[in-house]
Chains A and B, each alone.
Chain A
């Protein structure tokens, strides 16, 4: 390990995690404050102007209908990020609960969970989701709910295998001997020990959801055309790459930067929290 830079108190190995955290906090703030920061109404058209590149009036230029790309990016952060936050929370809650129950209780629930996750792993889930939501004319909310279900199997499997090894440990026996209920042991004693994994699952689910949901928008599924949204902006503006590339490239970069930052943070949080804990699945 390299020695810390003189005058700095931050160990070099913590730099990537910290940068990621700062990036995510800035993106979250911008998402919340977007409506107050946007210089233009994201829906305001200026057909006479059309698509122009970045300039003094429009920081990142305009799209085909003369709408301000920067303002649309700010407004689009909401649908692009809030959905994935809900999906990540939902997937983690569902996957952790079911995985914990399956691994700790075993029995018929475990058998069902294993077969069900086997089934979901064996089919091209995202493809089926695109078709189902597309055919049913599903809304943004439908897509969010469907992605919660689609993401759960990974969490179920990971948490289950950890719960399996935890239930053999002495503290679980001790708690049993004291007459604590299964539910109490699972959620008050075992779950806290799985915190590193649950936290990193949360961030990884967020990355999966961010890419999947913006992908659905890119295909024109879920959100009505014209909504300011990162995925939809990529779809709508891919034909004006020669006039104003930023209209499509900027949302691509934002999605990727957010996903990379969340992945790195997930790794680092896991390393940090699991230091000193035996957590090998």
Chain B
């Protein structure tokens, strides 16, 4: 199989995934108590006329495939309808909150990579040493520590006990330090474990031993052989991290009362603001799917074996 064929296959899978996600998302409307009409009306006073107007506007009297198609074509052209609570187009509500979440997520990813990769390499280089054991145990605790729990402990330590930061307040960048740390902890643990395992695995390979025997400088061995090969398994978890980041952001934003997309989602769920929820779920799912696709494509670029059809991800 050549590159184009493999890439086309992946793209096909992505389309199927996106369609599945959109059907799931659209079906949310039917889940709401009182049915779609009640959900779309919200707490507005309803006369038979307004009800009829709503039914016509959202094609509620049409059969499901037609209704779904109308909604999907609208969504594809950026029209998710109006938020019931905010009485504004859904996209503009999301646009207002987007910067908070992207800042939080970007900050957290930066922290994750800056801490995770060096720590993982350090642990892998000196296997079973005190440092390795310490790092490995720390990752175990970090993985078992729920993000909202970390958020709370950080808030207490730095906000109440030490009084270094205001508990809730302005939207300066320093405000993101604690939330990003809370979000990054679990992900960092995953990156550390993955990097450590990769470093251990690669370190024992024949080509590394051979490179050492040829007398290549250590830096060269690490740069050209070890890191490049170790990058693959680390890349694999990127999709996992994207999903974790999104879900984690919901908890962390809620814990810190940050006005981002995560707390917006929870608010929308509690108010049964279905159009807003649909757009957020579709957006979140699309981000995860896109990251997974990028990971697959990056795999093909980095690893010639994958390009030539030997699958390493599908059977994992």
Binding site for B on A (CB under 8 A): 119, 122-128, 130-132, 134-137, 207, 211, 214-215, 218-221, 234, 238, 241-242, 245, 248-249, 252, 255-256, 259-260, 262-264
Could you tell me if B246 and A234 are in contact, using CB atoms closer than 8 angstroms?
A: no
From the candidates B28, B143, B160, B265, name the one contacting A241 in the complex (CB within 8 A).
Answer: B160
What residues of chain A lie closer than 8 Å to B140, measured between beta carbons?
260, 263-264
Cα-based distance from A95 to B21 in the complex (angstroms): 23
Known: A127-B284, A260-B144. A132 touches B254 (CB 8 A): no
What residues of chain A lie closer than 8 Å to B255, measured between beta carbons?
218, 238
What residues of chain B lie closer than 8 Å to A242, measured between beta carbons?
160, 167
Q: Can you sample 13 A-B contacts with CB below 8 Å? A: A122-B292, A127-B246, A128-B24, A130-B247, A134-B270, A219-B266, A238-B155, A241-B152, A241-B160, A255-B149, A256-B144, A256-B145, A260-B141
Chain B: minimal CB distance from A270 (Å): 14
Q: Which 8 pairs show the lowest CB-CB distances between chains A and B?
A: A259-B144, A134-B269, A252-B149, A124-B243, A260-B144, A211-B146, A136-B31, A126-B247
Known: A219-B266, A220-B270, A256-B141. A123 touches B288 (CB 8 A): yes
What residues of chain A lie closer than 8 Å to B143, measured between beta carbons?
263
Could you tell me if A215 and B156 are in contact, using CB atoms closer than 8 angstroms?
A: no
Cα-based distance from A164 to B281 in the complex (angstroms): 36
Closest partner residue, chain A, to B254 (CB atom): A219
B159 part of interface (Cβ distance < 8 Å): yes
What residues of chain B lie closer than 8 Å to A126, measured between beta carbons?
247
What residues of chain A lie closer than 8 Å to B33, measured between beta carbons?
136-137
Cα-based distance from A250 to B311 in the complex (angstroms): 47
B285 part of interface (Cβ distance < 8 Å): yes
Known: A241-B155, A252-B153, A264-B140. A127 touches B160 (CB 8 A): no
A contacts with B: majority SS = helix
New A-B pairs, 8, CB < 8 Å, besides A124-B246, A128-B281: A123-B20, A123-B288, A127-B285, A136-B33, A218-B255, A220-B270, A238-B255, A242-B167
Could you tell me if A214 and B156 are in contact, using CB atoms closer than 8 angstroms?
A: no
Chain A: minimal CB distance from B182 (Å): 12
Closest partner residue, chain B, to A258 (CB atom): B144
Could you tell me if B289 and A131 are in contact, using CB atoms closer than 8 angstroms?
A: no
B183 part of interface (Cβ distance < 8 Å): no
What residues of chain A lie closer than 8 Å to B254, measured between beta carbons?
218-219
Cα-based distance from A196 to B212 in the complex (angstroms): 39
Cα-based distance from A256 to B141 in the complex (angstroms): 8
Could you tell me if A122 and B17 are in contact, using CB atoms closer than 8 angstroms?
A: yes
What residues of chain B lie closer than 8 Å to A263, measured between beta carbons?
140, 143-144
Binding site for A on B (CB under 8 A): 17, 20-21, 24, 28, 31-33, 140-141, 143-146, 148-149, 152-153, 155-156, 159-161, 167, 239, 243, 246-247, 250-251, 254-255, 265-266, 269-270, 272, 274, 277, 281, 284-285, 288-289, 292
What residues of chain B lie closer than 8 Å to A219, measured between beta carbons?
250-251, 254, 266
Cα-based distance from A255 to B149 in the complex (angstroms): 9
Chain B: minimal CB distance from A84 (Å): 12
What residues of chain B lie closer than 8 Å to A252, measured between beta carbons?
146, 148-149, 152-153
Closest partner residue, chain B, to A134 (CB atom): B269
Could you tell me if A135 and B269 are in contact, using CB atoms closer than 8 angstroms?
A: yes
What residues of chain B lie closer than 8 Å to A214, measured between beta carbons?
146
Could you tell me if B144 and A211 are in contact, using CB atoms closer than 8 angstroms?
A: yes
From the candidates B144, B159, B281, name the one contacting A131 in the complex (CB within 8 A).
Answer: B281
What residues of chain A lie closer than 8 Å to B246, measured between beta carbons?
124, 127
Cα-based distance from A119 to B265 in the complex (angstroms): 23
Among B17, B149, B160, B265, max chain A CB count under 10 A is at B149
Cα-based distance from A260 to B20 in the complex (angstroms): 36
From the candidates A218, A241, A256, name the one contacting B251 in the complex (CB within 8 A).
Answer: A218
Known: A130-B269, A242-B160. A124 touches B247 (CB 8 A): yes
Cα-based distance from A135 to B143 in the complex (angstroms): 29
What residues of chain A lie closer than 8 Å to B17, measured between beta carbons?
119, 122-123
Could you tell me if A135 and B28 are in contact, using CB atoms closer than 8 angstroms?
A: yes
What residues of chain A lie closer than 8 Å to B292, measured between beta carbons?
122
Known: A122-B292, A219-B250. A131 touches B28 (CB 8 A): yes
Known: A134-B270, A214-B146. A127 touches B250 (CB 8 A): yes
Cα-based distance from A127 to B250 in the complex (angstroms): 8
Cα-based distance from A241 to B167 in the complex (angstroms): 10
Cα-based distance from A219 to B262 in the complex (angstroms): 11
Cα-based distance from A25 to B254 in the complex (angstroms): 33
From the candidates A124, A136, A137, name the one contacting B288 in the complex (CB within 8 A).
Answer: A124
